[in-house]
Amino acid sequence: MNEKQLLTKLKKLKNYNEQKIINLNDFGDSSRSIVYSLKHLSQQHRIFLLDLDHVVFNEDARDLVGIFKGTDKGFGFVDLPEIELSVFIPPSKTHFALNGDEVKVILTNSADLEAHRGASGYVTQIKEHKKTEIIGEYLATTNFKRLSEGYEGYLRPLDSKLSKIPLYLKDNSSNLKLHDIVVAKITDYPSRSHPDALLGIKKEVLGNKDAPGVDVLSVLKTYDLPLEFPENVKIQSEKIPEEVQDIDRVGRKDLTAETVVTIDGDDSKDFDDAVGLKILPNGNYLLGVHIADVASYVKEGSPLDQEAYKRGTSTYLVGEVVPMLPFKLSNGICSLNPGVDRLTMTCEMEIDSQGKTVNHYIFPSIIRSKGRLTYNLVNATFANEDVPEIYQKLRTTLENMKSLHKILNRMRSKRGAIEFEEHEPEIILDKEGRPVDIKIRERKDAEKMIESFMLAANETVAKAYFDRHLPFIYRVHEVPDADKLSDFLTFANTIGYQRPNNVDPKSPKVMQSILEQAKGTKDEEIVITKMLRSMKQAHYAREPLGHYGIGAKYYTHFTSPIRRYPDLISHRLIHYYLAQNTSDQTETTKIVNKIDDIAEQSSIRERVSVDVERDVLDLKKAEFMEDKIGEEFDGVIGSAVSFGLFITLPNTVEGLVHISTLKDDYYNFSEDLLALVGEKKRKMYRVGQPVRVKLVNVNVELHQIDFVLTEDTQSEIAPEFMGVSDFTHQEGRHFINVDEKK
């Protein structure tokens, strides 16, 4: 196909789809054979190649709209929502956009198909400023111009992506003390008249930066996480009864006589899932998973519902929680406390010896938990240690639960579920909220058993409503992109790991097999890192797109409605479907029409919650390391990037060894090996390699920890096949300022 024919076909495809961005996959397999024609058209600036699969016409590039993602170095990226692509924006071309702003962008060059580099461009217009407030530390200014204009001080934003953009307070700053943490309302955004600063007015003082609790509060405010519930939500929650009412029992199966227990961590406060198990005459297991029926108390469109939708999820911080629902519900009527009746939604599953669910029953119920069991004591029961009387009475049931868990785990493993141990830190705080120790939470049989049962219930519910052709909300984790999957498999093959024969490359069994081959070897960490980078992000959707990570065709979130809004919605849908035995589908239709919006909002809020939790963990880790400067530690290279190495200590603390501190050679970043490799001596530092480091600096405000490698650290030698072309060269890579860290 010549260039003229190709251009004609592209235009027809564009007009047919009425889209600015054209997916080359619509050409079929021939798209790979036209790569040179595409490249030539892009060199003529008639089209822009966004990546290997997408193209946009030059005249349409001016209408591309996306979200600007800023960095602390000044440059940024604009995420294009139509495709999973970011356009690079140089520091001088941001149009003063702030992180999170919605912007218009023009492309200045196409992607380099051969080098796999993405497109770049510049911002032409800020359609909407998303950030209206800044949280920062109050400092005195020495800027003569600002002093002459009446500004006594400024805020240094705590958000690292804004750390180089001060906010000068217009007025009412005279009563502020140095190092106060202040919330300010933005009144003027950066422009040509003041390109290097924001202007604003004081809104709230959180306290001095060293005061107990102000550090975590600052993070919450930075992410605009609501700390208090609105008054109408408080009023509604107070009206909810503390005990199950007689009217609530109507239409529910009474399971109060059944042996049902909760099994949670020692420090858990709310209990939204309980389990029970019987052995049937045919030898099958009857597993009952009973989930707090939050939907019966949080009604569609009520203030409680609107606030839960807004929050999307509970956020678990170090030592505290920002809940999705008021404690009156989460720790009261919706918590499956022992010895009291509670409304539940039950999923009973008859499971055979192969782990197959041969029958299931989903229905509203009432339970009365027979005990609040803990993971530690259940594990002690499994180890035949001395345990309280209730555990002794339940020993046979608990052992049967453990046996069922092993069966379910084998079943998931056979279909390709990807499983690896993640080190979850537990930060121990003193009375002032300062970290005094960091431990690693152990996941033993009890923890894995309950997780296994929740997975089974989530799958069963998802498949049940899919089979009935009823709209539902699903938790999805899609198959990795073909290019990323191919890159991972090529990498694995390069370091000696083969994918299994006669297995679809898109099957999670491929990832599972390679992980098993690498388990316990020096390559395990790098294989896990590369695998995770190749995967897509899990999210919520109306369509059952499958869950790649656990190898499931159908999956939902049903088991945690106290802390996740999609779980609450799945319960609400079940209630509506159970009630709609007539032709009146009004209520059901209302919620079904909202599933797409709910899925998107829940996915967004989940990502915010994850970011907050990670930031607070990083903050507390930095505080923990603050008094240890000069000490040496053993660690592992957790990731390698163009500007250095991130080192992970056994307690999960992570810090940076900047490339400028590696003075024995000029180092380049190898994407293929996730390593820094010296040009002359070919010394290599790669992910998974053990190292010895010395702590040289801690910046608590920016949550940054800096290490240097000690002389005891042993480097590896880069493999012979690595050539100069295999490296990612970055201009000025040897002269990056130490303070310019991601």
Domain definitions of the chain by residue range? 3-128, 133-211, 231-452, 479-535, 629-735
Residue 10: predicted pLDDT: 65
Out of 37-41, 43-47, 361-365, 708-712, which region has the weakest mean confidence (pLDDT)?
43-47
User: pLDDT digit string (tens) for 554-567?
Assistant: 999 999 999 999 99
CB 138 within 8 A of CB 106: no
Give the mean model confidence (pLDDT) for residues 37-47. Answer: 69
DSSP H helical segments within 270-346, as ranges?
Answer: 303-311, 327-328
Give the mean model confidence (pLDDT) for residues 589-613. Answer: 92
Q: Which amino acid is at 57?
A: F
Residue 230 has pLDDT above 90, yes or no: yes
The answer to whether 3-128 and 133-211 have equal CATH topology is yes
Residue 602: predicted pLDDT: 97
Mean pLDDT over all residues of the chain?
A: 86
Q: Encoding tokens for residue 742?
A: 């991601």
Residue 186 has pLDDT above 80, yes or no: yes
Closest CA to 676 of 637, 636, 717, 644: 644
What does the alpha-carbon distance between residue 508 and residue 688 come to, in Å, rounded to a whole number? 23
Q: Which fold has domain 3-128?
A: OB fold (Dihydrolipoamide Acetyltransferase, E2P) (2.40.50)
Q: What's this model's pTM, rounded to 2 decimal places? A: 0.83
What does the alpha-carbon distance between residue 672 and residue 459 come to, in Å, rounded to a whole number? 36
pLDDT band for position 177 (50/70/90)?
confident
Residue 45 has pLDDT above 90, yes or no: no
Give the mean model confidence (pLDDT) for residues 133-137. Answer: 90
Report the CATH number of the 133-211 domain. Answer: 2.40.50.700
Residue 213 has pLDDT above 90, yes or no: no
Residue 359: predicted pLDDT: 97
What does the alpha-carbon distance between residue 37 and residue 50 come to, in Å, rounded to a whole number? 15
Residue 549: predicted pLDDT: 93
Residue 83 has pLDDT above 70, yes or no: no
pLDDT band for position 14 (50/70/90)?
low
Give the mean model confidence (pLDDT) for residues 587-594. Answer: 78
CB 522 within 8 A of CB 688: yes
Out of 288-292, 437-441, 681-685, which region has the weakest mean confidence (pLDDT)?
681-685
Residue 52: predicted pLDDT: 64
Out of 361-375, 662-676, 694-708, which region has the weakest mean confidence (pLDDT)?
662-676
Decide: helix, strand or coil at residue 454: helix
Return the biggest CA–CA distance within the chain.
Answer: 88
Consecutive H or E run containing 220: helix 214-222
Residue 724: predicted pLDDT: 40
Residue with tokens 């009023």: 235
DSSP 117: B
Decide: helix, strand or coil at residue 97: coil
Residue 484: predicted pLDDT: 84
DSSP H helical segments within 468-594, as ranges?
Answer: 482-494, 508-518, 524-534, 565-579, 586-592
Q: Which amino acid is at 379?
A: N
C-alpha triplet 414, 418, 424: angle, nearest 5°: 135
Give the mean model confidence (pLDDT) for residues 470-498. Answer: 88
CB 136 within 8 A of CB 157: yes
Report the CATH number of the 629-735 domain. Answer: 2.40.50.140
Percentage, residues of the chain above pLDDT 70? 86
User: pLDDT digit string (tens) for 379-410?
Assistant: 999 999 999 999 999 999 999 999 999 999 99
Give the mean model confidence (pLDDT) for residues 564-592. Answer: 81
Residue 492: predicted pLDDT: 85
Strand pairing class (253-254; 85-89): unpaired
DSSP H helical segments within 314-356, as ranges?
Answer: 327-328
Residue 396: predicted pLDDT: 97
Give the mean model confidence (pLDDT) for residues 215-226. Answer: 88
Q: Which amino acid is at 292?
A: A
Residue 44: predicted pLDDT: 61
Residue 193 has pLDDT above 90, yes or no: no
Residue 293: predicted pLDDT: 97
Q: Residues of 718-740 as b/e, b for ≥16 C-beta within 10 angstroms? A: beeebeeeebeeeeebeebeeee
Give the mean model confidence (pLDDT) for residues 508-532. Answer: 87
Residue 537 has pLDDT above 70, yes or no: yes
